[in-house]
């Protein structure tokens, strides 16, 4: 009986967390684009949020409006044995980026360690990864799901300019 009560309490806590997250992200507030849940830098990414019980302040609302008005750079990245297309992506520092990952043949990985981004590229399914580049330079991304001989050559380059 104690175990069942503990499981119910855990489930209720998870529901409360999801509800708080939806409230803080403005989910359902006349958004025209459906966005997947975040984790901490991207959207199959890692975006951490802190929940509190207070109402959003005017400053928070203005910051949200400014963030919403910034144009995202959307890049479709196709994975297939043993390459990404395009193999080089150029973006601007501070501009939100959405990488739409799709695999043409099998499960592949996408790992961009310099930005702490990791996701799967699934066959015929788009996975969106959102992040904001916060540093300039040239960074390597790679497949981190073994896909056969040649897997180690499945890399690409992200160039972030000012």
Contact 158, 87 (CB under 8 A): no
Q: Residue 122 carries which DSSP code? A: B
Q: What is the pLDDT of residues 12-21, one digit of tens each?
A: 556 555 554 4
Q: Name the pTM for this structure.
A: 0.59
Domain formed by 73-161, architecture: Sandwich (2.60)
Sequence-distant (≥ 6) Cβ neighbours of residue 111 within 8 angstroms:
117, 118, 141, 142, 143, 144
Q: Residue 54 carries which DSSP code? A: S
Q: What is the pLDDT of residues 72-111, one digit of tens each?
A: 999 999 999 999 999 999 999 999 999 999 999 999 999 9
Neighbours of 70 (CB within 10 A): 10
In the chain, where are the structural domains located?
73-161
């Amino acid at each position: 009986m104690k175990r069942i009560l503990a499981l119910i309490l855990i489930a209720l806590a998870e529901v409360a967390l999801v509800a708080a997250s939806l409230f803080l992200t403005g989910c359902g507030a006349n958004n025209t684009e459906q966005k997947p849940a975040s984790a901490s830098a991207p959207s199959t990414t890692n975006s951490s949020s802190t929940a509190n019980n207070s109402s959003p302040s005017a400053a928070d609302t203005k910051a949200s409006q400014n963030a919403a008005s910034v144009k995202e750079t959307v890049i479709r990245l196709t994975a297939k044995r043993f390459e990404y297309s395009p193999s080089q992506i150029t973006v601007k520092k501070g501009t939100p980026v959405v990488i739409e990952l799709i695999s043409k043949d099998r499960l592949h990985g996408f790992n961009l360690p310099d930005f702490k981004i990791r996701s799967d590229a699934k066959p015929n399914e788009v996975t969106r990864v959102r992040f904001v580049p916060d540093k300039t330079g040239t960074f390597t991304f790679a497949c981190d799901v073994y896909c056969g001989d040649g897997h180690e050559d499945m890399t690409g380059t992200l160039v972030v300019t000012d």
